[in-house]
Amino acid sequence: MKAVRLKQKGLVAVDDIATPVPGEGEVLLRVLAAGVCRTDCHIRAHPFATPDGTTLGHEIAGEIAVVGPGVIGWQVGERAVVHPCWACHACPQCYAGRENYCQGHGAQRVPPPTPGVTRNGGMAEYAVVPASSLVSIGDLDPAFAAVLADAGLAPYHSVRLLRERLSPGSCALVIGLGGLGQYAVQLLKVMTPATVVAVDISDAALATARAVGADFTFRADGDDIVDQLREQSRGAGFAGIIDFVGSSQTLRLATSVVAPFGAIQAVGLSGGDIPFEAADISSIGLPWGVSLMKPYSGSYRDLADVIALARAGRLQANIELFPLDQAVAALDRLESGGMSGRAVLIPGM
């Protein structure tokens, strides 16, 4: 079969490799769609945890081709999306329904086993995955389902965690309007009564945010952006903020406009930092009661909920399709900033 593999640092290529065989508790998926993500670009440039020879792709949707030994509840021909956190289902976090923070692999600072990162992924004609990681997609377009495994799942998790703070009359802020930020805007509108404000440095991204439901948008690079946002929130600040950039600049923007008892979800991984001061007066203007969280992916229930919203027609897709053989071109275009939505590889296209 054909597979998109990390050959070495800086080099990704399409190879011919043996079709894998499912083991105990696993299924063989015929891959129908595999999303291309900035994480894949990062792995190509900085493969800190990804061994050479790994098949990339953590956004996977497919049709079951072979059911492995010990698998119950799944049949050949069923279509499903793959959750990107291959949890143990036996640790305290898994028992609590937080499989995305699974502790079963015994590492404090490393996420659970992940296809395309620490295990072979789905940028291939076939992929072996744990049956326990599957969520049925029914008649949903597999390309749409694939991107929801990350671009929909991560923002859904953050929005769900913010819901109790986003009461009627409150304001929510989305910083960064790439693939994940666009879904965050939609999910905030679907799941909360908050006024949704979005910021980015791209006029095209701001236009897309308005098209999918943002109530107000602002350029993030304006000299008066803090004043504009404070005025938009009527001086109260934002009860919920999701930062999909994660730079020092965007984190400081978030702390400058967050409301008392507000929450900041730092999803982006651009290496930024902010000081945290245990003092009655904060030099960065942090109000009382504010929380800061570094969320990761989403739970298995979160993915099922996102798929249900998509099947009900409550989410929009902004997807561009590529043949599997054009995976490297898709990666290059994404890395150069030439992709407004999500790129998806279609084996056999």
Q: How does pLDDT run across 122-151, given as a tens digit for each residue?
A: 999 999 999 999 999 999 999 999 999 999
Question: How many residues would you count in the chain?
Answer: 349
Compute the average pLDDT of residues 56-61: 98
Per-residue pLDDT at 340 exceeds 90: no
Position 321 in a domain: yes
**Are 196 and 285 within one domain?**
yes
Compute the average pLDDT of residues 158-164: 97
Q: Are 153 and 84 in contact (CB under 8 A)?
A: yes
Position 282 in a domain: yes
Write out pLDDT tens, residues 277-334: 777 776 667 889 999 999 999 999 999 999 999 999 999 988 999 999 999 999 999 9
Position 249 in a domain: yes
**Are 10 and 129 within one domain?**
yes
CA–CA separation, 321 and 311 (whole Å): 20
Per-residue pLDDT at 236 exceeds 80: yes
Domain end marker among 278, 293, 308: 293
**Are 206 and 284 within one domain?**
yes
Q: Is 148 exposed, middle or buried (0-12, 13-18, 19+ CB in 10 A)?
A: buried
Write out pLDDT tens, residues 181-231: 999 999 999 999 999 999 999 999 999 999 999 999 999 998 899 999 999
| CATH value at residue 95 | 3.90.180.10
Position 150 in a domain: no
DSSP 179: H
| Upper half-sphere CA count for residue 321 (Cβ side, 13 Å) | 12
Residue that is written with structure tokens 């030994």 in the block = 69
Alpha helices in 233-293 (DSSP H): 248-257
Residue that is written with structure tokens 């008892």 in the block = 261
Q: How far is CA 198 from CA 28, 46, 208, 244, 287, in A?
A: 40, 30, 10, 11, 21
Residue 239: both structure tokens together:
């009860």
**Are 184 and 247 within one domain?**
yes
**Are 190 and 280 within one domain?**
yes
**Are 11 and 129 within one domain?**
yes
Alpha helices in the chain (DSSP H): 38-45, 92-95, 142-147, 153-162, 179-191, 203-211, 225-232, 248-257, 300-311, 327-335
**Are 83 and 111 within one domain?**
yes
Position 242 in a domain: yes
Write out pLDDT tens, residues 9-41: 999 999 999 999 999 999 999 999 999 998 999
DSSP 60: E
Q: Report percent pLDDT > 90 for the chain.
A: 87
- Could you give the strand order of the β-sheet that contains 171-175, starting from the edge strand earlier in sequence? 216-219, 195-200, 171-175, 238-243, 258-266, 291-293
According to DSSP, the residues that pair with 266 across neighbouring strands are 243
pLDDT at residue 48, as a whole number: 81
- Spatial neighbors of 128 by CB under 8 A, at least 6 apart, are 20, 21, 22, 23, 26, 27, 28, 29, 68, 120
Q: Which amino acid would we find at residue 51?
A: P
pLDDT at residue 130, as a whole number: 98
According to DSSP, the residues that pair with 29 across neighbouring strands are 64, 127
**Are 197 and 286 within one domain?**
yes
pLDDT at residue 108, as a whole number: 76
Confidence of residue 81 (pLDDT cuts 50, 70, 90): very high
Per-residue pLDDT at 110 exceeds 80: no
pLDDT at residue 274, as a whole number: 87
Chain Cα centroid distance, residue 85: 12
| CATH value at residue 283 | 3.40.50.720
For the question of whether the overall pTM of this predicted structure is more than 0.75, the answer is yes
Position 310 in a domain: no
Position 266 in a domain: yes
Rg (CA), the chain: 20
DSSP 124: B
Closest listed residue to residue 302, CA positions, set 2, 63, 122, 101: 101
Write out pLDDT tens, residues 163-175: 999 999 999 999 9
Query: 3-class SS at 165?
Result: helix
Q: Which amino acid would we find at residue 160?
A: R
Domain that holds residue 11: 2-141+317-346
**Are 206 and 236 within one domain?**
yes
CA-CA-CA-CA torsion sign (74, 76, 82, 88): positive
Confidence of residue 275 (pLDDT cuts 50, 70, 90): confident
**Are 18 and 79 within one domain?**
yes
Q: Domains in the chain: how many in total?
A: 2
**Are 32 and 116 within one domain?**
yes
Per-residue pLDDT at 109 exceeds 80: no
Query: 3-class SS at 129?
Result: strand
pLDDT at residue 282, as a whole number: 66
Position 306 in a domain: no
**Are 122 and 174 within one domain?**
no
